[in-house]
Amino acid sequence: MRDDHTHGDIEINFIEQGELSYLIGGAWRTYRTGDLVAFWAAQPHHLSHCAVGTKGIWLTVPLGWFLGQPAAMSLVTALLVGPLHDQRSDDVALFASWVSAWESPSPIGERIVRLEVEARLLRLAPDAPQVHKAIVQPAADHAGDADPVHEQSDPVITAMAGVMAGHYHETLTLDDITSTTGLHPRYAIARFKKALGVSAWEYLLRLRVAAAQRLLLTTADDLLAVGYASGFGSPARFYVTFKRHTGMSPRAYRVKHGRSPA
């Protein structure tokens, strides 16, 4: 995951050993041995730091699997806002059992995994016990680390991503995005693309699409209001960009996953 990317699933990462750092939604977050983190992957995310010898298990769970289940809505709503982080002493054995059961030819194994994954995710809900916020680390925390696996967290990238994450709903210019870097705008933009694999403009669009998805799922606001609140300057731009990133129109997305306008 060298390049910044998005997808519509819930992503679950369990760090069996080692340390990882992500740029998720404009903030660096570091996770270490025994940590479990779940986040809505429609937010632009990027694995920036991976300590040598790190081992983990990654799961992607369709968001639609949880939508429509009243008991899970507090979890879904929390995941739309930001990552959830937790640590339990039995997670190592639990994840190992999932791998074993999933590889079993018996259909019962798959059913067991689905039920246990759902139960483990529900324990991350805000009203469940032993829930902790993710550790947010400044990029400088990794400045002295030796990391041959991924590039180091870059304060220039942090600054630009932070501006976009905080102001995606506003009209942003190149100067606005790069204003806190202290670098020439064109150089800063080139550095951003080299580090994340996407242009700053594409990153901004992904933030806006993720914001629109969140509003479509959690409000009954009309589509025009959702587009403007997400930073799109016109209905046409909102429609075209949203469909390019999600494969469906905003209306179709709401009908399939979210609330009806009524």
Q: What is the pLDDT of residues 171-197, one digit of tens each?
A: 999 999 999 999 999 999 999 888 777
Query: Which of the two residues, 59 and 3, has the higher pLDDT score?
Result: 59
Query: Which of the two residues, 143 and 229, has the higher pLDDT score?
Result: 229
Q: Write down the CATH number for the domain with range 9-136.
A: 2.60.120.280
Half-sphere exposure of residue 129: CA atoms within 13 angstroms, side-chain side = 1
pTM attached to this predicted model: 0.65
* Predicted confidence (pLDDT) at residue 68 exceeds the cutoff of 70: no
**Tokens read off for 78:** 């929390």
Phi and psi, residue 58, nearest 5°: -115, 130
Q: What is the mean pLDDT of residues 46-73?
A: 77
* Predicted confidence (pLDDT) at residue 54 exceeds the cutoff of 50: yes
User: Lowest-confidence range among 119-128, 203-212, 216-225?
Assistant: 119-128
* Predicted confidence (pLDDT) at residue 109 exceeds the cutoff of 60: yes
- Domain borders along the chain are 9-136, 154-262
Residue 258: predicted pLDDT = 58
Question: CATH topology of 9-136 equal to that of 154-262?
Answer: no
Q: How confident is the model at residue 18 (pLDDT cuts 50, 70, 90)?
A: very high
CATH topology of domain 154-262: Arc Repressor Mutant, subunit A (1.10.10)
Residue 145: predicted pLDDT = 42
